[in-house]
Amino acid sequence: MAKDDIYQASLEYHSRGRPGKIAVIPTKPTLTQRDLSLAYSPGVAEPCREIARNPDEAFKYTARGNLVAVVSNGTAILGIGNLGALASKPVMEGKGVLFKKFADIDVFDIEVDTLDIDEFVDTVARLEPTFGGINLEDIRAPECFDIERKLKERMQIPVMHDDQHGTAIISGAALLNAAEVTGRKLSEIKVVVNGAGASGIACTNYMIGLGVKAENVIMCDSKGVLNKKRDDELHWSKLPFVRDVPGRYLADVMDGADMLLGLSVKGAVKPEMLKRMAKNPIVFAMANPDPEIDYPEAIAARPDLIMATGRSDFPNQVNNVLGFPFIFRGALDTRAKAINEEMKRAATMALAKLAKAEVPDSVSRAYGGEKFHFGRNYLIPKPFDPRVLYYVAPAVAQAAMDTGAARVRIDIEEYRENLRRRTEPGRAVMSVAISKAKALRKRLALPDATDARVIAVAHQVINEGIAKPVLIGEKARVQAAMDGFDEDLFEIIDPVKPPSHELLEQRLREHEGMFSGTELDSHTLGALMADLRMVDGMLSASEKGVYKDKIPAVLRHVGRRPGVRRIVGMHIMLIKDRALFFADTTLVIQPSAEDLADCARLCAEAVSALGITPRIAFVSYNNFGASPAPDAQKIRDAHELFVVRNPGIEATGPIQADIALEPEEFRGVVSAERMPRAANLLIFPNLDSANAAFRLVRVTAGAAALGPLLLGLRRPANVMPRGSTVQEAVSMAAITLAMPVLATESGAYRSVGPGVGPNVSAQWAAPRE
């Protein structure tokens, strides 16, 4: 998009509908007079008294613990300059949007109309009772150094000037990894810095803290090299970087430099300068909005360079959004008194570590399908990598506790898990299964193991300690793909040479053409191994092929549990913090009343095993038998069969879907005695309606859909549909292995249906039919 186009689009974006980008949203009910009397007078008086008695109670009764002030005087707005306090408001609102989007932190933007340092400091310092932290933004140098220092001295909450420290923290992570990629030691590299403003000085000081030697740094400002020959008066912030070196301008000091750190202006660096740098030079050209030298021009001059910029369309974007939301998240959640150097370094180390981890396909999708791997073009994570939250914030929180900056102590692993649940909708629902799978560390068959997605799933399953993958595929290719992992952590089975197992060979001989000279299909082998207990479960996670081509192997070779009429498929729909379960979304096209009752029982067991109390709704177009039509009668019969056979399980029907999900909204439509509680497990009349419903909810409500989970098999086996993410497959791996054990331990339901024993959950491993 051309610059003129993006500027016009931005004006329309900001003015369309409700002007601006942020709003205040109530977090408590305000529907009744009683609600209002609690929110305000007279009820609000009691929290006021509690806070007066104990100021820490403000974190319990108010939003202070999740509220940051973004404060500016507008003297250094982006790359534009001093436009004044009011003109900085769109930027400050934008900063608030980023805080909320990436770390769920609430923000008030505050524009202070003064150029006087002490007036600014007094204004901000007096706001301390309101906020949990202060983010200073777009304040020019050198005033910004004095403002931040004075506020830190006066305030007992975190204060950070992001233009200084955010850029330093992110570029520090990039530098650590660039040094690793090029085989350099920080203590030995020669660095030239162009730009002696807030970011340039902060980044340089930070690099020195990471291990760069101060004497190996040469700094230039807008007038040239900071050397002893300068006759102009320098601000105190520049004095530590004055050197006794020859040369007056940037071009004079580039010979043999290992790194160029640019925080200046577009066009400040010429191709000839890069040609004089050392082998494999590190160039961080981070002028905003355009770098000191364009990426294509730099690569043309030095094909061996490693480059980072502030631009999203070039590799290695140094974007402050990788830092400030998560640093403040960790600081707020420990009620830190400050953001100290140790907390900043913890953030840097966490980002550098994350860049080396395998990148989930959800990140690739956010960037047009591009694949990312640690190396010279991928030194730091991408801004839309959701893992940054649970990598950086816990690291910062731990550093806050270790250094005494924290007022409260938290369990870091529990904290990390809670943060992870925010980024992965299924994780909260799946936490029981994931925890159980980690405790069991069972063996999981993964067919079609030469597929890239299967390998990615295997890597993550190992890294998270969920299972020991049994990879079924061509041994040499699979082995190469698993390079770097200890061979004790996984197994490889080549379908050309199946394991020697008497029952397996017998089953294979029953199916002519599958054995004795013909290569065995990996899905068939995986299903048979699961059914024969040679592995603890099977998951088909490959991107190749479609669902209907892979599911037959499971249905043909894994037996049903006794008493189960049909195998059914259940989807878990995750909408914000709410979990709904839809069935049968996959297999049975026109179920009978008996089929629907059995489906409801199987689903109820599964939901209960996940630690959730099922509340079932048999969905129809009519309510409670209002229609005499045969289709409506089928739903009535299914509901009656289920209630008789499964006493104690809450179920209602026939009922319309909207009433089932939000019954309180329909008081007066449904009589009080029939008013159900909100359902979480919906049994649909047929495959058409169930499948359409889960797809519509996924698209229109932005729900995550996990599944289908195959229910009724005697041994756990599942097939992921094409288009599923690696993370969804990892969650499914956990549920595949943990569900039988969880169902047995929960004692699920003591049904009295025909062919069902006293504890149906215990029959997952019953003899094959």
Tell me, letter by letter, the H, E, C secondary structure of 609-647. HCCCCCEEEEECCCCCCCCCCHHHHHHHHHHHHHHHHCC
Q: What is the pLDDT of residue 545?
A: 83
Give the pLDDT band (50/70/90) at residue 675.
low
Q: Tell me the helices (H) and strands (E) count for the chain, helix number first.
A: 27, 21
CB distance 679 to 662 below 8 Å: no
Q: How far is CA 402 from the centre of its chain?
A: 26
Which structure tokens are listed for 364? Answer: 């690739």
Residues 6+ apart with CB under 8 A from 657: 617, 619, 682, 693
Separation CA 85–CA 83 (nearest Å): 7
**Least confident among 129-143, 343-357, 726-740:** 726-740
At 668, give phi and psi (nearest 5°): 105, -30
Torsion angle in degrees (nearest 10) through CA of 596, 598, 601, 604: -50
Q: What is the mean pLDDT of residues 137-164?
A: 95
Q: How far is CA 316 from the centre of its chain?
A: 20
E-only strand ranges, 613-768:
615-619, 650-655, 681-683, 704-711, 717-719
pLDDT beyond 70 at 671: no
CB distance 200 to 193 below 8 Å: yes
pLDDT beyond 60 at 420: yes
Strand order in the sheet with 133-136: 106-111, 67-72, 133-136, 159-161
By 3-state DSSP, what share of the chain in percent is helix, strand and coil, each rounded to 5?
45, 15, 40
Catalytic center residues = 40, 95
pLDDT beyond 80 at 748: no
% of the chain with per-residue pLDDT over 70: 93
Residue with token string 């990148």:
359
Q: What is the pLDDT of residue 434?
A: 83
Q: What is the pLDDT of residue 505?
A: 83
58 against 612, higher pLDDT: 58
CB distance 742 to 433 below 8 Å: yes
704 against 743, higher pLDDT: 704
Q: What is the pLDDT of residue 749?
A: 36
285 against 546, higher pLDDT: 285
Q: What is the pLDDT of residue 534?
A: 93
Closest CA to 573 of 422, 696, 713, 712: 696
Judging by DSSP bridges, how do beta strands 568-575 and 704-711 pair with one another? antiparallel
Give bridge partners of residue 77 from the DSSP assignment.
81
Q: What is the mean pLDDT of residues 668-680?
A: 68
User: Quick check: bond before 654 cis, omega within 30?
Assistant: yes
User: Quick check: bond before 289 cis, omega within 30?
Assistant: yes
- Integer angstrom CA distances of residue 596 from 353, 676, 706, 739: 49, 20, 21, 21
Q: What is the pLDDT of residue 666?
A: 61
Give the pLDDT band (50/70/90) at residue 692.
very high
Taking phi over 0 as left and psi of -120 to 50 as alpha, with beta for the rest, 441 belongs to left
Q: What is the pLDDT of residue 761?
A: 29
Q: What is the pLDDT of residue 106?
A: 96
pLDDT beyond 50 at 690: yes
Contacts 24+ apart (CB under 8 A), 610-614: 610/429, 610/430, 610/432, 610/433, 610/735, 610/742, 611/432, 612/429, 612/579, 612/680, 613/650, 614/581, 614/649, 614/650, 614/680, 614/681
251 against 520, higher pLDDT: 251
Q: What is the pLDDT of residue 665?
A: 67
Buried/exposed code over 179-213 (b: 16+ C-beta within 10 A; e: otherwise): bebbebebeebbbbbbbbbbbbbbbbbbbbebebe
Give bridge partners of residue 218 from the DSSP assignment.
192
CB distance 110 to 127 below 8 Å: yes
Longest CA–CA span in the chain (Å) reads: 98
Which structure tokens are listed for 14? Answer: 């900001």
Gyration radius of the chain over CA positions: 31
CB distance 95 to 117 below 8 Å: no
pLDDT beyond 50 at 647: yes
Q: Average model confidence (pLDDT) for the chain?
A: 89
Q: What is the mean pLDDT of residues 173-189?
A: 97
- Integer angstrom CA distances of residue 734 from 155, 290, 610: 46, 46, 11
Give the pLDDT band (50/70/90) at residue 167.
very high
Q: What is the pLDDT of residue 94?
A: 95
Separation CA 614–CA 155 (nearest Å): 50
Q: How many CA atoms lie within 13 A of 469 on its CB side?
A: 32
pLDDT beyond 60 at 90: yes
* Terminal CA-CA length for the chain: 63
Q: What is the mean pLDDT of residues 12-23?
A: 91
Give the pLDDT band (50/70/90) at residue 757.
very low
Measured from the Cβ of residue 552, the count of other Cβ atoms closer than 10 Å reads 13
% of the chain with per-residue pLDDT over 90: 65
Q: What is the pLDDT of residue 80?
A: 82
**Least confident among 79-83, 385-389, 738-742:** 738-742
Separation CA 273–CA 249 (nearest Å): 11
Q: What is the mean pLDDT of residues 539-550?
A: 89
pLDDT beyond 60 at 752: no
Tell me the pLDDT tens digit for each residue of 32-43. Answer: 898 899 999 999
Residues 6+ apart with CB under 8 A from 630: none
Give the pLDDT band (50/70/90) at residue 747.
low
- Integer angstrom CA distances of residue 449 from 15, 46, 134, 589: 51, 62, 50, 31
Q: What is the mean pLDDT of residues 211-231?
A: 93
Q: What is the pLDDT of residue 766?
A: 29
pLDDT beyond 50 at 548: yes
Q: What is the pLDDT of residue 719?
A: 95
